[in-house]
Amino acid sequence: DVDKRQPTHYYDPTDPDARRLLWDAVREGYHRHGVRVFWLDADEPDLAPPLQERAQYAAGDGRRVGNLYPREHARAFHEGLTAEGEQEILTLNRSAWAGSQRYGAALWSGDIPATFDSLRTQIRAGLNVALSGIPWWTTDIGGFHGGDPADPAYQELMVRWFQYGVHCPLFRLHGDRDPNEPFGVTMTGGPNEPWSYGPAYPLIREQLLLRERLRPYVQEQMDIAHRTGTPPMRPLFYDAPDDPAAWEVEDQFLLGPDLLVAPVAGPGVRERQVYLPAGSRWQDAHDGTWHEGGGTVRAAAPLERIPLYVRAGRTLPIRPADG
């Protein structure tokens, strides 16, 4: 109803007084009732570029400082929680900027399409985020917009996305599934629990169990990131800077220094080429075969798994029997 529209106002998080005012409201409405972790969806102003450029902040004009908005918004919560005596502070953020990590910001890639093209984009995006200094990365597994849990094609995408998500720093399922409902306060998407995907559920369940087996290793990488800033998920060249070929690979990554992950990001794909960085031997985590680094192998990728390789000298519980 046009007659009931109201103007929207954004607060200025670059102003310390504005950050305190926001936190005062959050403290009274949430923190005092036991809420300790916050999901900061839409933590950036929804402004068209011309309006953003004309905006005026305490820190300066919008053209110069507008991108600071999500970082300073996360700062408002970090400062507030710190003042309340909280010591382990984490917020889930839809947007971030350079330095957001210092305020406990975990970043996800927002409302992305539920397609294989989108999955391929997430692989590259996560690696670039890691290199930007933000170690805590995640996506909406399966994409956000759409996806029919009863559609076999979408079930395949969901399995492949779970296989990618298991090896991200943060592992989470989220999305607005079909059948969609009209926008409103009572709307809800279709079923989106792991068991909502019919014959794909046993394969999804195996990924959940794999993440549990990898929990100590992931926690080890999280602690390293906390102490040194080294991202848990990173491109191959991060650990093999002297290997020119490692700089060319955009669709594989390392989780920590010792687990190489080669996601499958296309429908019907059941094998793929995998490059193994030079300077180490690598063991196929599924069949136990060894390969010298510095070359490419053709790896099997049946629907139930993606290629995974473990660096020589490390043992990881990839298969149930390894745990």
Work out the average pLDDT over 32-38: 97
pLDDT in tens, 238-251: 999 999 999 999 99
Tell me the CA distances in angstroms from 111 to 91, 94, 107, 139, 185, one per residue in order.
17, 9, 12, 9, 18
pLDDT in tens, 66-83: 999 999 999 999 999 999
CATH of the domain at 301: 2.60.40.1180
Work out the average pLDDT over 22-45: 96
- Binned at pLDDT 50, 70 and 90, residue 185 comes out as confident
In a domain, 306, yes or no: yes
CB atoms within 10 A of CB 270: 9
In a domain, 171, yes or no: no
Catalytic site residues? Answer: 41, 44, 111
In a domain, 152, yes or no: no
Q: Is 80 exceeded by the pLDDT of residue 49?
A: yes
Nearest to 100 by CA among 82, 124, 76, 123: 76
Are 169 and 144 spatial neighbours (Cβ–Cβ below 8 Å)? no
Where among 108, 129, 159 does a domain terminate? 108
In a domain, 178, yes or no: no
Average pLDDT, the chain: 95
Residue 161 to residue 40: CA distance in whole angstroms = 23
Residue 117 to residue 192: CA distance in whole angstroms = 20
Residue 222 to residue 15: CA distance in whole angstroms = 32
The structure tokens listed for 263 are 């996601």
Work out the average pLDDT over 143-171: 97
**Per-residue pLDDT, 64:** 93
Work out the average pLDDT over 262-282: 98
CB atoms within 10 A of CB 219: 11
Q: Is 90 exceeded by the pLDDT of residue 296?
A: yes
By percentage, how much of the chain surpasses pLDDT 90?
Answer: 89
Q: What is this structure's pTM? A: 0.94
The structure tokens listed for 165 are 């998500």
**Per-residue pLDDT, 258:** 98
- Say whether the peptide bond before residue 179 is cis (omega within 30 degrees of 0): yes
In a domain, 208, yes or no: no
**Per-residue pLDDT, 1:** 52
Where among 46, 76, 108 does a domain terminate? 108
Q: Is 60 exceeded by the pLDDT of residue 2?
A: no
In whole angstroms, how large is the CA radius of gyration of the chain?
22
In a domain, 139, yes or no: no
**Per-residue pLDDT, 72:** 98
pLDDT in tens, 187-235: 788 899 999 999 999 999 999 999 999 999 999 999 999 999 999 999 9
Q: Is 60 exceeded by the pLDDT of residue 115?
A: yes
- Binned at pLDDT 50, 70 and 90, residue 91 comes out as very high
Nearest to 192 by CA among 163, 160, 155, 166: 155
Work out the average pLDDT over 1-19: 83
DSSP tally for the chain: helices H, then strands E: 8, 14
Q: What is the dihedral of CA 149, 153, 156, 161, to 10 degrees?
A: -70
Domain count, the chain: 2
Q: Is 70 exceeded by the pLDDT of residue 86?
A: yes
- Residue showing tokens 């399966």: 142
**Per-residue pLDDT, 188:** 80
Q: Is 90 exceeded by the pLDDT of residue 314?
A: yes
Q: For residue 20, what are the domain limits?
A: 10-108
In a domain, 147, yes or no: no
Where among 81, 108, 135 does a domain terminate? 108
Residue 26 to residue 42: CA distance in whole angstroms = 16
